Amino acid sequence: MSAGPDGTAVVRRIADLLMEIVGEDRAWSDAVRPDTRLDGELLLESHELAAWSLALRRDYGDHVDLAEHVAGLDIDQIIALTVGDVARLVAEPPEHAEAGSATTTTPDRS
């Protein structure tokens, strides 16, 4: 997938996915910017976020788990979450995403 340095192509694609989920029109999708907040501006309901997470996983791979990502955030981080943050999650290489989601380590028993 090709995108400019600011990830514009990713933002457009994920905004289009969300548009389909929430049943909005093209003008709505075109108004979504990287700094658009999911909670404060888009007013996403939890079921819409879950459906968007599934659509992102379908289109970009299992390493893109928005629902899991949001579950690991505190309330202030959830309120501040933007479309650009989701685009970065989508663009993150699978190896980095898996390493970043590991919460436990195996002790060295040598």
Quote the pLDDT of residue 93: 78
* pLDDT per position as a tens digit, 20-61: 999 999 999 999 999 999 999 999 999 999 999 999 999 999
Give dist(CA 41, CA 79) in Å, integer.
Answer: 10
Pair 53, 90: CB distance under 8 Å: no
Residue 45 identity: E
Give dist(CA 15, CA 21) in Å, integer.
Answer: 10
Quote the pLDDT of residue 98: 52
Quote the pLDDT of residue 3: 44
Give the pLDDT band (50/70/90) at residue 75: very high
Residue 110, pLDDT > 50, answer: no
pTM: 0.78
